[in-house]
Amino acid sequence: MVSWNNLDTIKSYNDLEGIKHVNLVEAMSGESGAKRVKEYSVPMAAGLAYNYAAKEVDDDIINALDALAKETQLIEKFEALYNGEVINTGEKRMVLHQLTRGQLGNKVEADGVDKREFYVKEQKRIADFANKVHSGEIANAKGEKFTTVVQIGIGGSDLGPRAMYLALENWAHRTGNFKMEAKFISNVDPDDASAVLNSIDVAHSIFILVSKSGTTLETLTNESFVTDALKKAGLDQSKHMIAVTSETSPLAKSENYLEAFFMDDFIGGRYSSTSGVGGAVLSLAFGPDVFAQFLDGAAEEDKLSANADLKKNPAMLDALIGVYERNVLGYSSTAVLPYSQGLSRFPAHLQQLDMESNGKSVNRFGEPINYVTGPIIFGEPGTNGQHSFYQLLHQGTDIIPLQFIGFKNSQLQNDVDIQGSTSQQKLCANVAAQIVAFACGKTDDNLNKNFKGGRPSSIIVGDELNPKSLGALLAHFENKVMFQGFVWNINSFDQEGVQLGKVLAKRVLAHETEGALTEYAKLLNI
């Protein structure tokens, strides 16, 4: 029987607070550090590995975290989730994003429908559509092939799919899998839509409108921008636009769309990259086979996340170390630092994934809690970040845990050798150096040049960023966030915090305001 309890009532958590803290400078110096790097590593799917040698943990702390995992029933709660129990208590819904890439447990039904079959069916429909676009069977009014796909959506309908597209763009060019260029319109700021429309040939573009409800204000506003551009070009929207929406939305049966593909309420936007939300744009851009490889990597990582052995479950281990850093050590932020240009927008996706999921101050039953929850997430790709905010990370007054991501090989076939090393070797040398510099620091009598060290980090390492490793990477972080939500006894699958601003914005547009809201509306000439 699964029980849901606040973290501060958990015995193993209180025990954890009494365990001696690790001196990271000592632990990571000399032979001790070399031994940790070899031993503190957990295999992930698709050839990735999670290495936590430079975290402020030792065997005693890991054993205490294992006890916490067992007492909070993390594996049992994950089983309940993937077997279709109502885990999203705020909206009284199941949580089924893992089901888009594989079946971990029992058959899950809703309204008499096998949900795994539903997701597979939609993936097949998208694949068939993409293949017809690539072959020219589905073409523009003149019978010419579409060359560009543009996704119109906001939040999870943009951040995840955009990050995944950018991650695979170079790889697809190198491997011959690049089918169509993808662009994204998300911001309601008209400059966003106009910039994209000015950069494409609308006559050879196909647009994907993504809105589960079919009523998202920003998305429908941007649709109007695109519709206007199509009309001005003498083009018919219904021949250039498809919808990804729910079967009950006003978009589902509209004649304004060439085709409609369906998602459901059991997949939140920030968890939707492996659904039709990501599937349509990625299948059109790179082909259905590439999207299938992406799903395979995510499915493999999900299987590891169901393992009760903490040292064989990288997502759960990563999650618990994060809880230790947040609730015991008191660190309020985490920096995501991918040493891969392909992952340039991955930190932005993880920012939404983590902060929208676990930015909660009430438990899953709507009761106030007395401990901190989700950290602030930020980041940029290396080495750019080194020349930006690393100064604060190294010598600032706050200690900020770091999540590095690195690959042994680039996505290019041909690198250049400059001064005895390739560009990729220089990149990898930088990430190795940063981990040790953060952990061990440097003593100097000139305090301006003194580095205290003791700045914890972990790194996920792989051979290459490709569809399968990207899927595994995505699933790792989705499951990490899920496990942390379970530990904190919060609902990681609703997002009431985004609603109030939307409600007030509608009041401003309807001129139904008072007080400060009226004055700010005047200030902005509304």
Hey, which residues are catalytic here?
A: 356, 387, 502
Q: Check: CB of residue 16 under 8 Å from CB of residue 65.
A: yes
Bond from prior residue into 373 cis (ω within 30 degrees of 0): no
What is the chain's alpha carbon radius of gyration, rounded to the nearest angstrom? 24
The encoded tokens of residue 376 equal 């602030």
CB atoms within 10 A of CB 23: 13
Looking up tokens 């092939």, which residue turns up? 145
Query: Rounded to whole angstroms, how far apart are CA atoms 81 and 265?
Result: 15
Own/partner contacts of 429-435, CB < 8 Å, gap of 24 or more, are 430/339, 430/382, 430/383, 430/386, 431/337, 431/339, 431/382, 431/404, 431/406, 431/459, 434/337, 434/382, 434/386, 434/390, 434/404, 435/54, 435/404, 435/459
Nearest to 349 by CA among 415, 271, 232: 271
Nearest to 339 by CA among 396, 410, 394, 418: 410
Calculate the dihedral angle through the C-alpha atoms of 286, 314, 81, 113, rounding to the nearest 10 degrees: 30
Query: Rounded to whole angstroms, how far apart are CA atoms 498 and 154?
Result: 12
Q: Is the dihedral of CA 460, 463, 466, 469 positive or negative?
A: negative
The encoded tokens of residue 119 equal 């997701």
- Pairing of β 376-378 and β 333-339: parallel
Looking up tokens 């064989």, which residue turns up? 312
The one-character DSSP state at 47 is G
Residues 6+ apart with CB under 8 A from 498: 155, 356
